[in-house]
Amino acid sequence: MFPEEVLEHVFSFLNSHTDRNTASLVCKSWYEMERWCRKRVFIGNCYAVNPRVVIRRFPEVKSVELKGKPHFADFNLVPEGWGGYVYPWIVEIARAYPWLEEIRLKRMVVTDECLEIVAKSFRNFRVLVLESCEGFSTDGLAAVAANCRNLRVLDLRECEVEELSGHWLSHFPDSFTSLESLNMACLGSEVSFSALERLVARSPNLKTLRLNRTVPIEKLSTLLQRAPQLVDFGTGAYSAEIRQDVYSRLADAFSRSKNLKSLSGFWDVTPAYLPAIYSVCSQLTSLNLSYAATRSPDLTKIVSQCYNLQRLVVLDYIEDTGLNTVSMSCKDLRELVVFPSDPFVGEVDVLLTEQGLVSVSQGCSKLQSVLYFCHQMSNSALISISKNRPNLTCFRLCIIEPRVPDYVTHEPLDVGFGSIVENCKQLTRLSMSGLLTDRVFEYIGTHAKNLDMLSIAFAGDSDLGLHHVLSGCDSLRKLEIRDCPFGDKALLANASKLEKMRSLWMSSCLVSFGACKLLGQKMPGLNVEVIDERENVNSLPEYVPVEKVYIYRTVSGQRFDTPDFVRIMGKDKDDLFSDKGLKVAVLFCSNFGTFRPCCCTRSRSL
């Protein structure tokens, strides 16, 4: 047995949460040792555990990271009011961790009151990252600015903020000099430019500055000159009348920014101003032009100079020709994201096809992560991509029209995606689209052994598809499904699998109220949330499919902050041992001759 000091020292090298979790399972003394020295806690689902339980186990935490709503909330599939309130967590950690330094939240509801508590409770607070959060206003930001004397990072990523005024920025006191990262890109209101300039000027450690749209292009050079040490810069609206003096100043400022590695922003681009960034292109490792509504030639000229680019986010305006240039020029590319410029157009007027992706997969040997929106795909393209890039870890393909087949052969895209999972053995994340039958799920269940997250839409023929995934994907933790004909059978037959996953989302599928209730009754370790906004929902028979169901494992039991359109199923004690419940369980199991035994073994013993 190692003495404690040695163990503690060894544990200090364990940074990943999974490693720490594993270490804590070795034996009781390791568990004890580990829990006292864990500094960072990550909770992937805020409803999986109570804050007090976390605090009891980990008394010395300096950094808390929480996630709230399910991923599909990003696409408006989770009605407002569902939950994800961070307030109860804030109250508890304010009490328990006075020396907390970092809070990172994703898809949570954060109120001004929460931000005020944060601002006043933690003497050494340093990092606030809010991603896809909502519920707060610029008043909350003002409180943080005014009170967090040692703040280093204020990072608002795609949040929905109530804009009361831009005055919040002026609340940073003159004595405040510790800022390292400021991302205000998602804010709509104008801040005082002089306050911003002074803030930048007195922040020698400022490495990241992402402005919002209201900062005009004429002012960018001023800020760049104040912060030559910047590594990550996001412009505001990149448009103005073409003026030589403005252009020259800007180009000059960029050329002096020797440390710049990442560029973003570029709203409302005036193409004539784009060459101002040419001098930094070869330094860039990350470039986000996905708000730049400018055409392929301009984009191509830029990327052709980005020899060191690792991450490119761009609109489909880049077209196949632009991506071909990427494949030849950006040999270090790791991640490619191509968003649609007009997601709803029936007719395509942008020349981006599957070919662009194929070229990049051919030319960029380090490509690992892809998010690609396009209008057509073929099995042969997918097979090529998989053979070119077996090192892919994240492959998300969205063919914009649902259920579209291989445009060449008119067959489903089963074989193509099958090839992806078969060849890309390290694939951890997959999103599929196009016409897909149960066959693709068979391939996935057979081959995708490292798959952690899977997103499915408008796919499959029957429960067999879902069964393949749940029974075959050993590493699966997050599964989200919409508009697929998957129902009760596969779900109930794989009930125990659900406890090994973080969560399962199914909307517009064929899962019935009865099955949800049964699942909730039989699996105390799961919350089965039916999200259904229909007026007559209480009088619907049990065989009717629910609108949406969200199932997640939890050790904290059901939650009590649900709105009326959310029902946590099967937790009423009356239902638990009813005859009907047993009969239903037996019926399902007997229909499932070839499937694994499910929860009915428990019910038979009753």
Partner 1 sequence: MDTTFRLAGGGEEELELGLGLGLSSGAYASSSNAAHSQVVGWPPVKTYRMNSLLNQAKFSKNEEETGVNGNDASKKKKNSKHENKNDEVVAKETGHSGFVKVNMDGLPIGRKVDLNAHDCYETLALALETMFLKACPTFTSIRREKQQRSRLLDGSSEFVLTYEDKEGDWMLVGDVPWRMFLSTVKRLRIMKTSDANGLAAPRYQEKNQKPKKKLLS
Distance CA 595, CA 589 (A): 8
Within positions 532 to 571, which residues make up the interface with partner 1, using CB under 8 A? Answer: 533-536, 543-545, 547, 563
List helix spans (H) across 51-104: 51-57, 87-96
Q: Does 515 interact with partner 1 (rule: CB under 8 A)?
A: yes
Q: What are phi and psi of 531, to 5 degrees?
A: -110, 110
Q: Does 154 interact with partner 1 (rule: CB under 8 A)?
A: no
Q: Does 235 interact with partner 1 (rule: CB under 8 A)?
A: no
Q: Does 487 interact with partner 1 (rule: CB under 8 A)?
A: yes
* Residue closer to partner 1 (CB basis): 189 or 257: 189
Within positions 370 to 409, which residues make up the interface with partner 1, using CB under 8 A? Answer: 373, 398, 400-402
* Residue closer to partner 1 (CB basis): 322 or 472: 322
Distance CA 163, CA 286 (A): 29
| Selected binder of partner 1 within 290, 355, 368, 521 (CB under 8 A) | 290
Q: Sign of the CA dihedral 108, 111, 114, 115? A: positive
| Selected binder of partner 1 within 183, 355, 512, 527 (CB under 8 A) | 512
Q: What are the tokens at 484?
A: 């697929």
Cβ(112)–Cβ(137) under 8 Å? yes
Site string (8-47) toward partner 1, x via CB under 8 A: ----------------------------------------
Q: Does 346 interact with partner 1 (rule: CB under 8 A)?
A: yes
Q: Does 574 interact with partner 1 (rule: CB under 8 A)?
A: no
Q: Which stretch binds partner 1 (CB under 8 A): 97-105, 453-461, 522-530, 596-604?
A: 453-461
Helices and strands in the chain: count of H runs, count of E runs: 23, 23
* Residue closer to partner 1 (CB basis): 230 or 338: 338
Rounded to a whole number of angstroms, the minimum distance from the CB of residue 540 to partner 1 is: 10
Element (H, E) at 482: strand 478-482
Cβ(202)–Cβ(194) under 8 Å? no
Q: Which stretch binds partner 1 (CB under 8 A): 408-416, 418-426, 452-460, 592-600?
A: 452-460
Helix, strand, or coil (residue 127): strand
Q: Which stretch binds partner 1 (CB under 8 A): 73-81, 192-200, 386-394, 413-421?
A: 73-81
Rounded to a whole number of angstroms, the minimum distance from the CB of residue 166 to partner 1 is: 12
Q: Does 286 interact with partner 1 (rule: CB under 8 A)?
A: no
SS3 annotation, 528-580: EEEECCCCCHHHCCCCCECCEEEEEECCCCCCCCCCCCEEECCCCHHHCCCHH
Q: Which residues contact 3 (CB under 8 A, 6 or more apart)?
A: none
Q: Does 211 interact with partner 1 (rule: CB under 8 A)?
A: no
Q: What are the tokens at 318?
A: 């880049």
* Residue closer to partner 1 (CB basis): 447 or 482: 482
Rounded to a whole number of angstroms, the minimum distance from the CB of residue 512 to partner 1 is: 4
Distance CA 529, CA 570 (A): 10
* Residue closer to partner 1 (CB basis): 72 or 172: 72
**295-317 in b/e burial notation, b at 16+ Cβ within 10 A?**
bbebbbbbbebbebbbbbbbbbb
Distance CA 85, CA 387 (A): 44
**Residues of the shown chain interacting with partner 1 in the complex, contacts defined by CB under 8 A:** 72, 74-77, 79-81, 132, 158, 160, 163, 186, 188-189, 213, 267-268, 290-291, 293-294, 339-347, 349, 373, 398, 400-402, 431, 455, 457-458, 482-483, 485, 487-488, 508-512, 514-515, 533-536, 543-545, 547, 563, 579-580, 583-584, 587-588
